[in-house]
């Protein structure tokens, strides 16, 4: 017989991992955007940083979607 408390613990643990991952992605996105805003002499680097931030935004959205499925 499965322990129902163990299952709940796994679900809470997964939710915690997803929430922490969302926070990390958002922090990275902000860092990339702030850094990109400060770059004036290297358009290529600025563009790459903005692309990194866009990737973080997409991953954040995916993580939020996964978190919503778990709740």
Q: pLDDT (tens digit, 9 = 90+) per residue, 13-60?
A: 999 999 999 999 999 999 999 999 999 999 999 999 999 999 999 999
53 and 71 Cβ atoms separated by less than 8 Å: no
CA angle 36, 40, 43 (to 5 degrees): 70
pLDDT at 70: 81
């Amino acid at each position: 017989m499965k322990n129902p408390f163990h299952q709940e613990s796994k679900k809470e643990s997964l939710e915690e991992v997803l929430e922490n991952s969302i926070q990390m992605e958002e922090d990275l996105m902000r860092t990339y955007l702030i850094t990109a805003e400060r770059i004036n002499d290297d358009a290529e680097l600025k563009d790459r940083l903005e692309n990194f931030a866009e990737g973080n935004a997409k991953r954040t959205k995916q993580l939020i979607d996964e978190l919503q499925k778990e709740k």
